[in-house]
């Protein structure tokens, strides 16, 4: 039996992953953006060990989420599921002056990774769109570039792979992998999504809690239980370290 924390688990793939883990007999800690969503989540899911609360677009609240999890004790795995999509027509700015999509999709998983007591496994949700991400990592916060929501989202999904692989390189005692759940018909994916929704949450659950020898790997990218090729830059340690340095500068936290 494993103990798993899932960010962004009040609906969509995060909620589906939580339910599947509970069905498999694991302990699950869920996360909601605010107290109202946490109250709704309690009515949706029976058996969760706890629900932590915090808006991951806020650096301060993301740090609080990590503190809440640490107070519960060590986790066997963390699934970094939380994300915002690319529908926004303009650069939505957070209280910290960052694009919302970057704050939630890139900086929040970095902060949580740094602050949460090191688990045995880490799973970062990416997307097939990561292959369109800008590997230069220039102007991460879109202060000079003309805003492009799809490109901004694609960039952050590349960041998630870079983060997963950087952690795999720096923490050899932790299994750290990235997942493409497919384009599925969640609230974020939209009704026109063409992938199998039932497969959208299974790979991250498998990587987080299975005893299958196939999951005992690190620094890999998966789609529907199988390894997939990634953006060539994802394995470049210099690019990984450039992202880590940028996240450190923004958050004040360093990945050991």
Active site residues: 153, 157
CA 114 remoteness from chain centre: 13
* Tokens read off for 170: 């720096």
> Given the structure tokens 């990774």, which residue do they identify?
113
Q: Which of 252, 44, 60, 61 is nearest to 52 (CA)?
A: 61
Q: Which of 195, 224, 191, 185 is nearest to 207 (CA)?
A: 224
**Which phi and psi (to 5°) does residue 56 adopt?**
-75, 0
> Given the structure tokens 């299975």, which residue do they identify?
210
Distance between CA atoms of 194 and 131, rounded to whole angstroms?
Answer: 19
């Amino acid at each position: 039996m494993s103990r798993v924390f899932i960010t962004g688990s009040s609906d969509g793939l995060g909620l589906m992953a939580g339910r599947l883990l509970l069905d498999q007999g694991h302990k699950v800690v869920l996360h909601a953006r605010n107290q109202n969503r946490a109250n709704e989540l309690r009515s949706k899911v029976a058996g969760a060990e706890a629900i932590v609360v915090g808006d991951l677009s806020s650096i301060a609240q993301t740090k609080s989420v990590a503190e809440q999890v640490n107070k519960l004790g060590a986790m066997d795995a963390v699934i970094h599921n939380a994300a915002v999509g690319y529908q926004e027509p303009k650069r939505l700015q957070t209280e910290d002056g960052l694009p919302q999509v970057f704050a939630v999709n890139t900086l929040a998983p970095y902060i949580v990774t740094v602050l949460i007591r090191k688990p045995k496994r880490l799973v970062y949700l990416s997307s097939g769109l990561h292959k369109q991400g800008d590997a230069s990592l220039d102007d991460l916060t879109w202060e000079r570039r003309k805003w492009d929501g799809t490109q901004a989202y694609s960039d952050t999904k590349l960041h998630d792979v870079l983060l997963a692989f950087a952690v795999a390189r720096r923490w050899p005692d932790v299994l750290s992998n990235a997942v493409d759940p497919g384009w599925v018909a969640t609230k974020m994916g939209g009704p026109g999504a063409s992938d199998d929704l039932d497969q959208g949450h299974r790979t991250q659950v498998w990587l987080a809690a299975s005893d299958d020898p196939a999951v005992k790997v690190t620094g890999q990218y998966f789609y529907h239980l199988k390894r997939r090729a990634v953006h060539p830059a994802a394995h470049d340690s210099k690019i990984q370290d450039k992202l880590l340095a940028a996240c450190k500068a923004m958050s004040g936290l360093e990945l050991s």
